[in-house]
Amino acid sequence: MGYSDVVAEYDRIRAKNEAEMQRRRQEVYERLPALAEIRKQKEALQLQFLRDALDGKTSAADEIDALREKEKALLKKAGCAPDYLDPIYSCDICRDTGLREDTTRCECFKQRMLEDKLQAAKLTDSGISFAQFDLSIFSDEPVYDGKSHRDIMKKIKQHAEQYTIDYPHCEAFLILSGATGLGKTYISKCIQRAVIERGVTAAFYTAYRLFSMFHRHRLGEEIDLDPVFKVPLLIIDDIGTEPMTRNVTIEYFFDLINERNDAGLHTVIVTNLKLNAIKDRYGERIHSRLMDKYASKKILFNGADVRY
């Protein structure tokens, strides 16, 4: 779904609630015809009230109130709630339009857009978040410089979370580097979820998928690369595992990070490569961009593979 799909969803909600309201009225009016008559009288008085208001006249609103009370009494006698025949809204604030009275977007609309983004990003699992990050799965045995894997991950979580708090006033590149099974991908998805929940569009691509797109584009296929070049936050997982293709891998990768940097966009690089190995694989130009101390933040992962 997208913006237009969310708007269309409100149309479906209103239609569904309208159908339910009509069903209720038909059911009750068949049982209590007097209520149908009261409804007609009330609607006629309400219409007259509006006409008089436009003409600058005053109407007896007391008659409408009296009919409402009579209607409620009959509904109660029939075992129905006082508002059983009223219009039905899934959101009473915007009345299922997505807009408040001041024309600003209702919170329910914002939530639907957020859920849509999370669904598109495949982040509907609430377990993928900084709030659900479970440090207890990491060993508390010393593994590096006297620190345990748990100590290291606690610090990494703090740095990664701070990155999302500072976003977009943070480094253009965030490099998550370390061996397999240390939690790099999970941390990157926590970052993605955190910025999405702030209303920012973020995309997650594996290096294999991304460079496959580049290769097909180079061969002349109609591949739309705008999403990866223009998305506010791009996460590329497993950089260094993609096949090296002549005149594609390095050139497209350089163009991607260079154009995104020039546009003020942010990119998270997740890799098993050590930082100096990035230069060996991709060359000086890419290494220089990614290692720029003013433009990039590096988080190094150490410890034992938690998947085994």
pLDDT in tens, 225-240: 887 898 889 999 999 9
User: Are 153 and 230 found together in one domain?
Assistant: yes
Q: Are residues 131 and 84 in the same domain?
A: no
308 occurs within a structural domain: no
Question: Could you check whether the bond before residue 227 is cis, i.e. omega within 30 degrees of 0?
Answer: no
Same domain, yes or no, for 48 and 98? yes
Give the residue numbers spanning the domain of 201.
124-301
Q: Which of 32-41, 121-130, 168-177, 192-201 has the highest mean pLDDT?
A: 168-177
Q: Which of 43-57, 91-105, 182-196, 254-268 has the lowest mean pLDDT?
A: 43-57
The predicted-structure confidence for 202-220, as pLDDT tens digits, reads as follows 888 899 989 999 999 999 9
**For a pLDDT cut of 90, what percent of the chain falls above it?**
39
- Asked if the structure places residue 306 within a domain, the reply is no
DSSP notation for 122-168: T---TTSSSTT--GGGS--SEEETTEEHHHHHHHHHHHHHHHHHHTT
Count of domains for the chain: 2
173 is written with which tokens? 């590149």
Q: Which of 49-53, 138-142, 190-194 bottoms out in mean pLDDT, i.e. has the lowest?
A: 49-53
Query: Does 153 share its domain with 232?
Result: yes
Q: Which residues, in sequence order, are CB contacts of 212 under 8 Å at separation 6+? A: 242
Any domain includes 99: yes
Per-residue pLDDT, averaged over 14-22, amounts to 91
**Which residue type does 305 have?**
D
> 106 and 129 share a domain?
no
Q: Which residues of 193-222 are buried (b: 16+ CB within 10 A; e: fewer)?
A: bbbbeeebebbbbbbeebbbbbbeeeeeee
CB 181 within 8 A of CB 275: no
Last residue of a domain, one of 84, 110, 136: 110
Of 48-62, 91-105, 220-234, the one with minimum mean pLDDT is: 48-62
Mean pLDDT within 148-165? 91
